[in-house]
Amino acid sequence: MEATLPILILAIPLFMFLLLGLLGNKMSHKMAGILGTAGMGVTLVLAYITAFTYFFSGNPDFVSAEGQHLQYVVFNVDWLQFYKDLVIRIGFLLDPISALMLVVITTISFMVHLYSNGYMRDHHGVYERGFQRFYAFLALFSFSMLGLVVATNIFQMYIFWELVGASSYLLIGFYYIKPSAVSASKKAFIVTRFADLGFLIGILILSYYTGTFNFTDLTSSAVADSSNVFAVNIATSEHISNIFASSAAPVFMGGSVLTWALVLIFMGGMGKSAMLPLHIWLPDAMEGPTPVSALIHAATMVVAGVYLVARLFPLYLMEETSLVIITVVGAITAFYAAMVACTQVDIKRVLAFSTISQIAFMMVSLGVARPEIHEGLGYMASMFHLFTHAMFKALLFLGAGALIHAIGSNDYTEMHGLRKYMPITHITFLIGCLAIAGIIPFSGFFSKDEILSACMGYNWVAYLWMSLVAGLTAFYMFRLYFLIFWWKEHPVREGHHAPHDQPWTMSVPLIVLAAVSVVAGFVPFGNLVSWNGEPYDFMKHFNWNVATVSLVVAIIGIGIAMVMYRKENPLPDKMQRAFPALWRWCFHRFYWDELYQFITHKIIFARICRPIAWFDRHVIDGTMDGFATVTNKVSWAIRGLQSGRVQMYVWIYLIGALLLGTVTAVCLL
């Protein structure tokens, strides 16, 4: 493959960022929106051409004679060289999961660009302040995310990883005049930077022992008679594992060096993907514009952690302890987020906790994936759910944006009975709810049940736990749906216009994403993506018993939500009064934010930082100030010695000579 298309996929968003960032204020709002959308539209076309060529062209550089999808390094140029064998390169790696992410990122980004042309205006057509800046930030984020997923080495991934964090900070804090938005952006930046420190340490440990940053050196082997072509090879990962095993590195807290390296790398993924206990930034990040929530916190940035684990999956297979940690963290996070989502009243926060829960689903699927369990079904299921979830969750966020734009509030207690006023939003939002609940034939049914099948193959505890989470998902999503679109008639206040569907720039993305959410489950995903690139007939391992049970669980969840929330009734209040402590803890997110506030303010700041500040101010600074004071006083005391009077100098000389003579005499006697 020529490098032209891949370079343009990265170059166009970067160029749009520079153009809109530097010259945006010189052009009209409409022109900025058109340019930004057109630029991402061209990137979308190029990404689709690249992905289609990779999957279906039959090029021997992309697929072997046996049907195995290969890794193709389009270009890889030296950037930094530390010593002969340790070089950081910037390149473009094309393989099943990077091609998949090219499709996901550009699709969602283009829909968000188009949608924002309508959303970032009020009902009178007046553009929001900073409209051009908003599109510049969108382009920067898209460039960063695309650079992350096509990285040829883990250090390049880290560079773009940090750039994604910086661009998300800018987008979350777009409404910088709002203190809550500023606070949310700083919170997201600080929490993810803390996680990224672990990621960096893990990278350094891994590269120190292996002498390489390249993914192809860590997980793959070169294909004979082909340049720049590699195949995922478990033997390569076994070799890397043996390097660690044969080293003299000590075991720390029961874990090998490789285990710690992989766990620390996963720590970076925990931050980006909002896993417990590094999840607290994501709900607050909803302070940003809703299109930002759809782009960053539904479909792209939050799946970076999943993508990271998937990229290094052969290495994780060598250290199953790390996979167990991923499974446990994912399972706890999924249940926690689902419980919290059942009690929230802010529509975007419900979707935020839903995102946390669904990302945790993907993590659990990777954690339970084993070659001996349905030939690595969990890996394929995780990537499949990443794809389907991106579409229906972006649909739900954009639908929420249409509702917020029409009502002027995030609180869905003010959105009752809107099905009559907003039919397009109603139907598309319902499709998104059916997809995430896992109702056949919508896309979420297929990907979710593949995950549950992988969990059953792992053990029954994991299966039952995740089935419970799936049931809670169906309940809280349809609780949200019925409260918004049914419950009771929406009151139209005097002097206010009745809610209505939004302009075509906002409606078209809803319709497109809804259509994709209906048909995406029928994509032969196993033939495209698997952990080792080999074709995978996932229908061969599709467990209809699991599917039937999960479908029944989803229907039960929807049924309970319908009984409680379709019509106004006292049942929700009765449930709240029956379990007051549980409801209070869920509503307050199990007090994680309060815990962080206590740790940071009462312990770190008050008990550690304040004494250190006192010591620095009074002891360190006091000592230095004391030296200065003594020096100053002494200088004033002896200044008379420099009077210029010769008589006094003679007297001083004579007194000094006398003292010296006296001391000498005493010493000699």
Whole-structure pTM over 0.85, yes or no? Answer: yes
Residue pair 147/11 in contact by the 8 Å Cβ criterion: no
Q: How far apart are CA 669 and CA 659, in angstroms?
A: 16
Q: How far apart are CA 276 and CA 259, in angstroms?
A: 20
What is the CB-side half-sphere exposure of residue 95 using CA atoms within 13 A? 28
pLDDT confidence of residue 125: 67
Calculate what percentage of the chain has a pLDDT beyond 70.
95
Q: Is the pLDDT of residue 494 over 60?
A: no
- The two three-digit tokens of residue 431, written as one number: 């499709």
Q: Quickly list H helices, 566-620.
A: 571-578, 580-587, 592-597, 610-614
Report the DSSP pairing between strands 220-222 and 86-94: unpaired
pLDDT confidence of residue 634: 85
DSSP H/E element including 230: strand 229-232
Decide: helix, strand or coil at residue 410: coil
Decide: helix, strand or coil at residue 130: coil
Q: What is the pLDDT of residues 9-53, one digit of tens each?
A: 999 999 999 999 898 888 888 898 899 999 999 999 999 999 999
Distance of CA 149 to the CA centre of its chain: 13
User: What mean pLDDT is predicted for residues 142-159?
Assistant: 92
- Placement of tokens 């060529």 in the chain: 53
Instruction: Provide the pLDDT confidence category of residue 606 given band limits of 50, 70 and 90.
Output: confident
Q: Is the pLDDT of residue 638 over 80?
A: no
Residue pair 420/373 in contact by the 8 Å Cβ criterion: no
Residue pair 70/229 in contact by the 8 Å Cβ criterion: yes
User: What mean pLDDT is predicted for residues 441-468?
Assistant: 90
Q: What is the pLDDT of residues 502-546, one digit of tens each?
A: 788 888 999 999 999 999 888 888 888 888 888 877 666 677 888
Q: Is the pLDDT of residue 101 over 90?
A: yes
Q: What is the pLDDT of residues 308-338, one digit of tens each?
A: 999 999 999 988 889 999 999 999 999 999 9
pLDDT confidence of residue 234: 87
Q: What is the pLDDT of residues 332-380, one digit of tens each?
A: 999 999 999 999 888 888 999 999 999 999 999 999 998 888 778 889 9
User: What mean pLDDT is predicted for residues 410-423?
Assistant: 80
- The two three-digit tokens of residue 439, written as one number: 């109702």
Burial 468-496 (b: 16+ CB within 10 A, else e): ebbbbbbbbbbbbbbbbbbbeebeeeeee
pLDDT confidence of residue 533: 84
Instruction: Provide the pLDDT confidence category of residue 248 given band limits of 50, 70 and 90.
Output: low
Q: Which distant-in-sequence residues (6+ apart) come within 8 Å of 421 by Cβ?
A: 406, 490, 498, 499, 500
Give the single-character DSSP code of 438: T
User: For all residues of the chain together, what is the average pLDDT?
Assistant: 87
Instruction: Provide the pLDDT confidence category of residue 388 given band limits of 50, 70 and 90.
Output: very high
Q: How far apart are CA 44 and CA 50, in angstroms?
A: 10
Instruction: Provide the pLDDT confidence category of residue 249 given band limits of 50, 70 and 90.
Output: low
Q: Quickly list H helices, 81-222.
A: 96-119, 131-149, 154-172, 179-210, 215-219
Number of neighbours of residue 537 by Cβ within 10 angstroms: 11
What is the biggest distance separating any 2 CA atoms in the chain, rounded to whole angstroms? Answer: 117
pLDDT confidence of residue 318: 87
Report the DSSP pairing between strands 220-222 and 71-83: unpaired
Q: How far apart are CA 222 and CA 170, in angstroms?
A: 40
pLDDT confidence of residue 302: 87
Calculate what percentage of the chain has a pLDDT beyond 90.
36
Q: How far apart are CA 529 and CA 536, in angstroms?
A: 8
C-alpha separations of 36 from 40, 133, 268, 497 in Å: 6, 11, 30, 31
Q: Is the pLDDT of residue 178 over 80?
A: yes
DSSP H/E element including 76: strand 71-83
pLDDT confidence of residue 336: 94
Q: What is the dihedral angle through the alpha carbons of 291, 439, 421, 563, rounded to the nearest 10 degrees?
A: -120
Instruction: Provide the pLDDT confidence category of residue 493 given band limits of 50, 70 and 90.
Output: low
Amino acid at 318: M
